[in-house]
Structure 1
Amino acid sequence: MIDCVITLKKIIDKLYQQQVDVQLTRPDPKFGDFATNAALQLAKPLGKNPREIAEAIADELRGHEELSEVSVAGPGFINVKLSDQAVLESLKVRPATNRAGKTVVIETNCSNPFKAMHIGHALNVVLADTMANLLAVDGASVHRVSYHGDVGTHVGKSMWAILREVDGDVSKLDAIPADKRNEFMSRTYAEGARAAKESPEARVKIDELAKQSFVLDDPLYKQVYEICKAWSFDEIDANVARLGNVPIERRYVESETEVPGKALIKEKTPEVFTKSDGAYIFKGSQYGAFDNVFIGSHGNGLYGAHDMGLIQLKHQDYPNLDLSITVNGEEQAAYFRGVIAASELAIPELKGKLFNYATGLVKLTTGKMSSRTGEVITIDWLFNEFKKAIKQAGGEPTDEVVAGALRYQFLKVKIGSDVVF
């Protein structure tokens, strides 16, 4: 493919016998793929109008088939657009290997079971998988993993509604078709969330059911829990594959993180954590985050303890990791700054290796989506809409084409910006 800097230098030398430090910049996409102000740099030493110089250089550039469009703007800026073929050829160039020999662990899927997977989850799934692809192209050994919350309050809310529907007869779940299970999980979670908000009696029961997710000593609960958890993971895996992601090699769940997380926190107190009234607190405000309770006064590990347990498990499974990456919404950015700071203090060999990338939110025109109210757009619905649009445009709406179109819509938005449907 054409090397634009070298080509510009040759053209300038041919036309004006001058040496210029040619710099390329990225203009607004509507003007092209790159731009240069080389003509303006030449104007003073040549004593010529920069626009005239730019036009002469542009005429020479137009002779290259790799360039589909060359234009001059303003006082003498040259804008260039690459041909589609040139862009395709650039992908075949031998990849860089800046990260050769480096080991990267990245969470490419963190949707929780017992909820429907919606397009907000899809954004993080696509972004994380794309980061993994780029790191692999750059020579790294990339390990894709996932992490899911299989215990806690959200499980209690779903189980409250599911157990009411089952009414002691687990076989009732058999009547729900496979293609309706995601919808079922979405509806029951919304019902449980609404009950927790509106009914003190239901809230007490939901708290009990949330605790039961940790022990699973009730036979009926355990049976329903395991069936619906398996449904959720089947749905998550199918959706992630449909989105075009490379499969994960290891799935972590929250129920396995509390024990190692709590043990490390207690071991690193008072060195890293402060104990107060039975609770273990990390002074995150000293590290650009906020003071956060990692173990509550009741003795249970909270989110911070679970995430520290997860970091330990990944470190054990991938002891030579050079980079460990998570991708989460902007609203969790400060929380993860605290978790990372605490983890680096507790496990010094991980210092500088833990990164969390904050994304924007996927919103409806009416505002933020909410699993609690059921106001979400499912991935299945979105795929169907893409298929309709592609078919109307005369295309063949295969899952691969739909996934490519959907991924492009997410990836064209700057990381950290919101996506509004």
Structure 2
Amino acid sequence: MTPADLSLFIRSTATEVLEARALDASVLPEQVVVERPRNPEHGDYATNVALQVAKKVGMNPREFAQLLADALSSDSAIEVAEVAGPGFLNIRLAADAQGKIVADILDVGEQFGHSDAYAGRNVNLEFVSANPTGPIHLGGTRWAAVGDSLGRVLEASGAKVTREYYFNDHGRQINAFSESLECAALGKPTPENGYGGAYIQDIAQQVVEADPSVLDLEGEAMREAFRERGVELMFAHIKRSLHEFGTDFDVYFHENDLFDNGEVDKAVEKLKANGNLYSNEGAWWLKSSEYGDDKDRVVIKSDGDAAYIAGDIAYVANKFDRGYNLCIYMLGADHHGYINRLRAATAAMGYDAEGVEVLIGQMVNLVRDGEAVKMSKRAGTVITLDDLVEAIGVDGARYALIRSSVDSSLDIDLELWSSQSSDNPVYYVQYGHARLCSIARKAETLGVQASTEQLGLLEHEREGDLIRTLGEFPAVVKAAATLREPHRIARYAEELAGTFHRFYDSCQILPKQGEEATELHRARLALADATRQVLANALGLLGVSAPERM
């Protein structure tokens, strides 16, 4: 019986208790909260539902808790239900009921932890979206890991997810990139506010090698040639780096298309028509302050050029018109102002602003020997995705970036994350999975097969800890999806690995040499198999490999 099953069981039993006394059962919460007590001596699970509802129906909380405890204890799945304090209820499951978690995991396999909580949600998940003016930096790399993992978690929760990369190929930064390539090809110094680094030299050289006649062009013709071919080469590098990092996108959306296809003009005309755009001092302003923004925003400047927000407005309209009902933007630390701005633009265009979410990610720093690592070999001024992967590998990089909340800045100790020790979180979790695979191989060699027939034999304290930890996985996945926090999966994986290692140290899973396999051995092997499955499921949601050998 998982915590979710127990929650439903407690609610249905509480309903029966109240209705039997002609009391209003509608006061019960939709979901009864079930938690593991800090002190395991208090039981396997605890709930405060009696404290929540007793006074609403004119009862003393301890009195109601006792009635509920008596009713629960009459079921064979409950070994003990006891009242504690002012009305808490401590519950210990019967071994058979607790062991059913193991059977359920082995029955559904890779689907354990999945749900339909987000069924019907068509999600556009936009992340990374770095300008194609250089390699992916650490901030974008964090989103590459976290965004991909969040997509996996939402899909496991029943959502249809489109991973989208917004290709910012319109505006000042692209012009600076093109000019930098041109100067590099001509042997001129990097222009002011331009881009440096060895990668600029590399791309400029590739453009010239592919078409030497580009150097015969003049003025805007040369600049446009370097822009078109240089951006194409840079973006090919970005795509390759992301793919090797385990992050691929379903849609690569070009900002330029919004202008070329007339969608920006269409959005502006719609805002004029619905009265949410007004003229002032020769410019056109969005009434964004009426929709929660801190001020109105210029959409069309006095010189007739579109302001940056014009593309944002057209882009969010494009997403809703494509049928998405949840649009998640994952942006960098300097984009806090975008939250109210995007939601205001969405509402002004007539769409549901509740369907827009903006997640802000904080900075990432690399540390080696206690000192900050500040410079890339190739990019010159920033540390890149490629640098991080070279230092600690894809699995280490993804796990390190995902396991902490994006709300906080992150320091990655390169020595720690490249080490093969239990201090390295990803190594610790992967080693747990590899050890479980080793047990399975050894069991096959010994001819011992797992069995779920006698799971009630799993009565050891460490067995109970492990089973209860396994049972929490669906709730962890649900919370990760609801709160947009895939780091919960990583922290859970570490807890599960630690709980397994303690179980392994205390309980003999396979028979010793010369011993016959017993039902207890077979039940423990089933528990080990279930643990291996859940660890693999958790690592899969992180996009991290689950090695069979290490």
* TM-score past 0.5 threshold: yes
Contact 1:111 1:117 in 2 (8 A): yes
**C-alpha displacement of 1:148:** 1.8
Q: 1:184 aligns with which of 196, 199, 220?
A: 199
Aligned to 1:111: 130
Matched, 1:280 2:284: yes
Q: Residue deviations 1:350-385, cap 9 Å, x none?
A: 4432222222222457999899x9532111111111
Aligned to 2:242: 240
Aligned residues: 334
**C-alpha displacement of 1:136:** 1.8
Q: Label 1:57 to 1:356 Cα distance change in 2 as closer, same or farther (>3 A).
A: closer
Q: Label 1:139 to 1:9 Cα distance change in 2 as closer, same or farther (>3 A).
A: closer
Aligned to 1:142: 161
Q: Work out which structure has the larger RCO, using CA pairs closer than 8 Å and 6 or more positions apart in sequence.
A: 2
Q: How does 1:10-409 map to 2 (within 5 A)?
A: 23-25=33-35, 36-37=45-46, 92-93=111-112, 95-167=114-186, 183-185=198-200, 218-245=220-247, 247-258=248-259, 259-269=262-272, 271-291=275-295, 292-316=297-321, 318=322, 320-346=323-349, 348-363=350-365, 374-387=380-393, 402-403=394-395, 405-409=396-400
Q: Label 1:309 to 1:182 Cα distance change in 2 as closer, same or farther (>3 A).
A: farther
Gaps of 5+ in 2: 10-30, 51-61, 70-81, 189-195, 205-217, 413-550
SS at match of 1:115: coil
Contact 1:360 1:419 in 2 (8 A): yes
Contact 1:327 1:359 in 2 (8 A): yes
Distance in 1 of aligned mates of 2:148 and 2:293 = 27
Aligned to 1:200: none
Q: Residue deviations 1:94-140, cap 9 Å, x none?
A: 72123334322221340111122112101122222222222222222
Contact 1:116 1:183 in 2 (8 A): no
Contact 1:262 1:301 in 2 (8 A): no
**C-alpha displacement of 1:345:** 1.7
Contact 2:44 2:92 in 1 (8 A): no
Distance in 2 of aligned mates of 1:340 and 1:8 = 36
SS at match of 2:388: helix
Aligned to 2:445: none
Distance in 1 of aligned mates of 2:3 and 2:245 = 35
Distance in 2 of aligned mates of 1:384 and 1:418 = 22
Matched, 1:410 2:414: no
Q: Residue deviations 1:207-248, cap 9 Å, x none?
A: xxxxxxxxx993211221122111111111112212212x32
Distance in 2 of aligned mates of 1:141 and 1:87 = 26
**TM-score normalized by the length of structure 1:** 0.63
Q: Label 1:293 to 1:27 Cα distance change in 2 as closer, same or farther (>3 A).
A: farther
Percent identity (aligned): 18
Q: Label 1:273 to 1:339 Cα distance change in 2 as closer, same or farther (>3 A).
A: farther
Distance in 2 of aligned mates of 1:160 and 1:244 = 32
SS at match of 1:308: helix
Contact 1:182 1:232 in 2 (8 A): no
**TM-score normalized by the length of structure 2:** 0.50
Distance in 1 of aligned mates of 2:201 and 2:185 = 16
Contact 2:365 2:373 in 1 (8 A): yes
Contact 1:106 1:144 in 2 (8 A): yes
RMSD: 4.7
Q: Label 1:88 to 1:251 Cα distance change in 2 as closer, same or farther (>3 A).
A: farther
**C-alpha displacement of 1:90:** 7.5
SS at match of 1:135: helix
Distance in 2 of aligned mates of 1:165 and 1:375 = 17
Q: Label 1:370 to 1:377 Cα distance change in 2 as closer, same or farther (>3 A).
A: closer
